[in-house]
Amino acid sequence: MNNINPGGFGFNPPPHYGAQPVGVPLVPPQNPPLPRRSRFDLRRLSMLTGLSIIAFLIMSYAFSGIIVLFADDLKAYLKGISMDTSIFSYILESLLSVFGIGLPFYIAYRAMRKKYGVDFIPFSPPESYTLMLLMIGAAFAACLLGSSFTSFLTIFLEENFGITSTYTMGDMPVTFDGKVLYFVRSAILPAFIEEFALRGVVMQPLRRYGNSFAIIVSSIIFAIMHGNLIQAPFAFIAGIALGYAVIITNSIWTGVVVHLLNNSLSVILMFLTKGNTEAQVPFYVAAIMPTIIFIGLVCFVIYLFSKKYRKRLDPPGSPLVNRVFLRDYVTTLPLLVSIISLIVQTALTVQIVK
């Protein structure tokens, strides 16, 4: 997080992190600090992220193509070994999560680590478990509020503009084995793999260009990688909450815990309602989300008024997103190709009903 080396880059270096604002301390620099910033390094990070997303898209299309091409043979094989097609689908989607997202971003992580010579992802436990608990509560509540906002937005777009999404969550599992695999695929794997990829590989190196910049950019990528209109707005809001919690606690595990709690609650509620959002559920089930949101808001208020734990993300006067940094980051060919591909994929799930 050192200042950028001046030399004709066309912008002034931001305030140095050594200058502490009065009252609220800054988030300390990464330890050990990464090398000095440059716009060339920023574009390199962009290209590695773009190539990772392209690899994910290629694997997704390859998996889908193989299934379509050998659909009849696959059904006959599954019938022969007495395996339900939904079970096979959950296994395949889990493998895609590991090898489609985890592997490309792990390769990018190794490349960055070799380049910079430091492990930039904070895998260590948080410095304060009290702060971690406060951030878990606050971020979890933010995720649930984001989910509620997305539901409202979906209804608003449909009722006022006829915009709907063709995306569906698929059939709910009915067997015990199916429910276990569905939980692993939907709750456990995303919590570890997506946090490593987005809040680790993507966000952490970008912190040299501003913590707020890193959170917003990684949240945008997190949103469009979901590839559908229903999940993208929620993922952006959740990404901001998760990124903030990870940086404030200086531990990737804060994001993993919140992500796991959010996805686990979603899966459990789907099991209880059997995938039908209109189903009648007991009062104690309906009260779960408001209760968690209330507790989370209390956690956030405690954090805001705590002189011991509250921190400032960036120096006073720093822009939320530096436009020069943003332009340099999003205009590399690999990232442009991946973003356009994901936007097209999202657009294909949108349907306008007149």
Segment (H or E) for 120: none
* Residue that has been written with the tokens 């990684």 in this structure: 218
Is residue 136 within 8 A of residue 295, CB to CB? The reply is no
At residue 98, the pLDDT reads 93
Q: What's the rounded Cα separation, in Å, for the pair 90 and 173? A: 10
Q: Say if residue 315 is preceded by a cis peptide, omega within 30 of 0.
A: no
Q: What's the rounded Cα separation, in Å, for the pair 28 and 18? A: 9
Is residue 36 within 8 A of residue 2, CB to CB? The reply is yes
269 to 6, 165, 281: CA distances (angstroms): 54, 21, 9
User: Residue-wise pLDDT tens for the chain (354 aa)?
Assistant: 444 333 332 333 333 333 344 456 767 655 445 555 577 889 999 999 999 999 999 998 888 888 777 666 666 766 666 667 778 888 888 989 999 999 999 999 999 988 877 788 999 999 899 999 999 999 999 999 999 999 899 889 888 888 888 877 767 788 888 899 999 999 999 999 999 999 999 999 999 888 999 999 999 999 999 888 888 999 999 999 999 999 999 999 999 999 999 999 999 888 887 755 555 666 766 788 999 999 999 999 999 999 889 988 887 777 777 888 889 999 999 999 999 999 998 888 888 876
Q: Say if residue 32 is preceded by a cis peptide, omega within 30 of 0.
A: yes
Q: What's the rounded Cα separation, in Å, for the pair 241 and 179? A: 28
Distance, CA of 222 to chain centre? 4
**Residues sharing a CB contact under 8 Å with residue 124, sequence separation 6 or more, in sequence order:** 250, 251
Say whether 71 sits in a helix, a strand or coil: helix
As given in the structure block, the two tokens for residue 68 are: 């379509």
At residue 49, the pLDDT reads 96
Burial of 33 per CB tally in 10 Å (0-12, 13-18, 19+): middle
Q: Where are the domains of the chain?
A: 39-352
Bridge partners (DSSP) listed for residue 165: 350
Is residue 349 within 8 A of residue 229, CB to CB? The reply is yes
Q: What's the rounded Cα separation, in Å, for the pair 228 and 345? A: 7
What ranges make up the beta strands (E) of 98-176?
A: 163-165
103 to 35, 55, 208: CA distances (angstroms): 25, 9, 25
